[in-house]
Structures are given as structure tokens and as C-alpha cells.
Structure 1
Amino acid sequence: MLGAIFGSFLATLCLRWPQGRSVLTGRSACDHCGRVLGAADLVPLLSALIAHGRCRSCGAPIDTTHMQIEFAAFLAGAGAFLLLPPEAAAAWAVMTWLLIPLIWLDYRYLWLPNPLVLLLTAAGAALGGFLSNLGLADRIIGGVAGWAVLAAIAALYRRARGQEGLGQGDPKLLGALGLWLGWQALPFLLLLASGLGLALALLRARAQPLAQQKIPLGSALGMAAMLIALLPGIV
């Protein structure tokens, strides 16, 4: 239930932030008719299901992003406590709830907002030990090394090709994940993220040639981190 409630807020953030709208001010309203939504319209997951995914006033379809993110956050909360010990489960849920909007925004807009990455970094410094069972020193090395590896690759690519090859947010995100998972996880994290990114590119290949695609590496890193952190519970 907590995941679904957080998911409702995260969905609003993902939809409003790219439009320059505040997520903290202004009441929720239908995007089509402008009717201000009441409590009965704002129950995560259930309200949209009961209304068949449409506004109760004008019948216009509700943006499916709401349901998708609410359901993802719900699964993150429920799945964590089914697969991991309580302390690790709570830490994994927090990490995942922070990663969900980063994954969505990077996939949709190739954008990793600094405030969200900074929040993920601070949470990793405070809670990462519960998830990885590593000391702060190992995780600080992971944070520094994660940022440095991708920053160096980006600089080398820029010098060799004369153009940007990585977004500025990708090194920061890998640094944040290093604070959650420690330096030991970085090689596997990069390998798995590369595989996920390649799979996504191949799925898009019919619509857009590989050479013309911009791969959301941040989304791939986020999904890879979730899977790696769950491995002890799965195996």
C-alpha cells in the first residue's frame, strides 16, 4: 500500500516536472476538462480501475503513466518484502522508488534530474549498508569509482569524436548506485546495463537504425541495479 501511495506522487512528478509544473502546489485535475479531482478519484490504482481508466466527468482517457508507475511502485514495495530480509527490503524499496522516476524520465526524455540523483546519492550513503552489507568505505569507493569511470569514458569519447556520447547525468547516477551497492558490484552492473541497453536498441531497430538511436543508459543502469540488489533474495 505504501508503494502505491508513493507511486501516485511519483507519477504526478513524472508528468508535471517535464512541463515545468510544480508537483507540490496545485490540486490534481483532469487534463482534458479541468475538473478538480476529489478523494474518490485519487485512490492509487483502484480509482482508475473502477472508472475504467477514464475521467468520470468527461470520459477522456486517463494518462496510463499513472497506472504504470503506481503499479511499479506497488510491486517494488511488495516484492522487496517477499524476497529480502526486512532491513534490506526497506532499503531496496527506497532505492527502487527513487529509481522509478529516473528510469521513466530518462527513457522518455533522456533526462536525469540532478535533484533526484542527489536524493538517491544521499539515501545510498545513509541506507546502502542495509542493502549491500558493505561498510561505508567500500560504498564511498563505489560512488567515486562509478562516477569516475563513466566521466572518463565520456571525456575520451568527446575528445575522439568531437561530440557528446554520454549524458552528464549518467556518471552521477552510476556514482549514486555505487554508494548503494559498493565498488564490487560495478563491473557486473555495467555489464548488465549494457546488455539491457542493447536489447532495447534491438527492439527499436525496425523503427530506427541502431546508429541513429540514443540509448537511455540511465534507465538501463537503474533496472540493472534493482536486479543486482535482488539477487541474494532470488538465489
Structure 2
Amino acid sequence: MWGVIGFLFGAIVGSFLATAAIRWPAGEQAASGRSRCDHCRRTLSPFDLIPIVSFLVRRGRCASCGKAIDRKHLLIEIASAAIGGLSFSLAPGLAGVGGAVFGWGLLLLAVLDVEHFWLPDRATGTLTLLAIAFGAAGAAPFPNDRLIGMAAGFLSLWLIGRAYRLVRKREGLGGGDPKLFGAIGAWLGWAALPTVFLLAGLAGIGSALLARARGEAISATTSLPLGALLAVAAWPVWLFLFARG
């Protein structure tokens, strides 16, 4: 039952995350105004707002203009529902709610980083504050581990970026990456940071090899969305560490 509740609630959250991922980079507020078609701007009916189901029933097209609905809506809703379902079923209670919130925040940031190389301070800051709040409410890890993790995550990547700039005379890390790593440290604690960084590095190598296999040019100056790689690595680490009972 907890898994079903988490899945359904996650799908609802995913609808908001998808809207934010599309509107926010365009300079619009995700929570302002009624939900509408991105093409004809028609206000959506209650039936059109049912997460996942509406997209499938409408076959991915607006009921009014017939234009294709951005598939990010469906994919983000499914991913968000899966995060909620797994979190709630594997760790019922406060821990599961925290894990779901952590995963949803990482999902939004990963999408924004992949598509726009953008990690908004507002999103990473909120994710960090929520981590501190859940720690204060009693969710593992302990508050001290979270605070140390926040500082260690931020400083480690900031120093790496600073050193790279001094040696190579150009930017190697975006300004949002250290902040996101600090937020991850606030959720997982300092001891989990090396594992997250290692998994993110392996994911980055895999992404580069896959791109090269597709015929894309890969060089020392090729940009990869480090924030998205960190996000993809961090939530499975949470599952392993805190969702086992």
C-alpha cells in the first residue's frame, strides 16, 4: 500500500516537475497560471491533467490543436512515480518521504542540466534546506553528518574547479555543480560523497564512450552535465544506504 501511495503521489509531483522543466528555462513560473497546451495555449481540462493516463489516452497529442505534447511530460511523470513508489515501499515513514523528496529534486535538476547545463540556485538551495529539515526531524543520517557532508561536498568540487581554472586558464566546472554536491552531502552525509563521485565519474565515462560509439566527436573540451551525473549517482546511493529497513 505504501508503494501504491508513493507511486500515485509521485506521478502528481512529476506533473509539476515536468511543467517546471519546460517553463522555468523559458523564464516562466511553473506554479503561475492554469495548466495549458504549450502550442495552442488552451487551458487544460481536469481529464487532461491526470498524470501519465492523460498522455497515453490522448496518444501524446493535444485534444484541441492535435499538436504533439512534449514527451518530457510522460517521461518525468513516470520517473517521479517510480521514485515515489520505491521510496515509500522500501522505507515507509519519514525516511521514505525524505528519499522521495530527494529523488524528485534530483530529477528536476538532472533534466535542467542535461538540456540547458543549468542548475538553478533556487532549486539546489531548496534541496539543501529540505535536507537539513529532515535531519532535524530525525531522519538518518544525523544532522552533524549532514552539515559536514554539505560543507565537504561544496568545498571539494569548488576547489577542484578552482585548481582546474588556475592550471588550464579556463572554466572546467559550472558554478552550480559544487552547490549540488553540497546538497547531496546534506542528504547522504559526508561518508557517502566518495561513492557518489566515483559512480558519477563512471557514468560520465560511459556517456562519453556511448557518444563516441554513435559517431559524435569527443575531446578534452567536450562538456558533460556533471550535475546530472551526480544526481543519477546520488539517489541509488540513498536507496542502498537508507532504504533497507
Give the TM-score taking structure 1 as reference length. Answer: 0.94
Q: Alignment RMSD, CA only?
A: 1.7
Q: Does the aligned pair in 2 maintain the 1:129–1:180 contact within 8 Å?
A: no
Provide, for residues 114-144 of structure 1, a one-character-per-residue CA deviation record: whole Å limited to 9, x for no partner. Answer: 0000000001111147897322112111110
Q: Does the aligned pair in 2 maintain the 1:148–1:171 contact within 8 Å?
A: yes
Please point out which of 7, 15, 18 is paired with 2:14. 7
Distance 1:189 1:34 in 2: 41
> Quick check: 93-102 or 125-134, which moved more?
125-134
Distance 1:51 1:210 in 2: 43
Residue 224 of structure 1 is matched in structure 2 by 233
Q: Does the aligned pair in 2 maintain the 1:89–1:131 contact within 8 Å?
A: no
Q: Does the aligned pair in 2 maintain the 1:132–1:180 contact within 8 Å?
A: no
Residue 88 of structure 1 is matched in structure 2 by 95
1:207 pairs with 2:216? yes
Residue 73 of structure 1 is matched in structure 2 by 80
Number of residue pairs matched by the alignment: 235
Distance 1:111 1:29 in 2: 25
Provide, for residues 192-212 of structure 1, a one-character-per-residue CA deviation record: whole Å limited to 9, x for no partner. Answer: 111111111221122232434
Letter in 1 for 2:177: D
Residue 135 of structure 1 is matched in structure 2 by 142
1:89-128 matched pairs, under 5 angstroms: 89-128=96-135
Distance 1:191 1:114 in 2: 24
Residue 177 of structure 1 is matched in structure 2 by 184
Identity of aligned residues (%): 44
> Quick check: 57-66 or 79-88, which moved more?
79-88
- Equivalent residue of 2:104, what SS? helix
Letter in 2 for 1:211: A
Letter in 2 for 1:199: G
Residue 194 of structure 2 is matched in structure 1 by 187
Structure 2: which 5+ runs fail to align? 1-7
Give the TM-score taking structure 2 as reference length. Answer: 0.91
Structure 1: which 5+ runs fail to align? none
Residue 168 of structure 2 is matched in structure 1 by 161
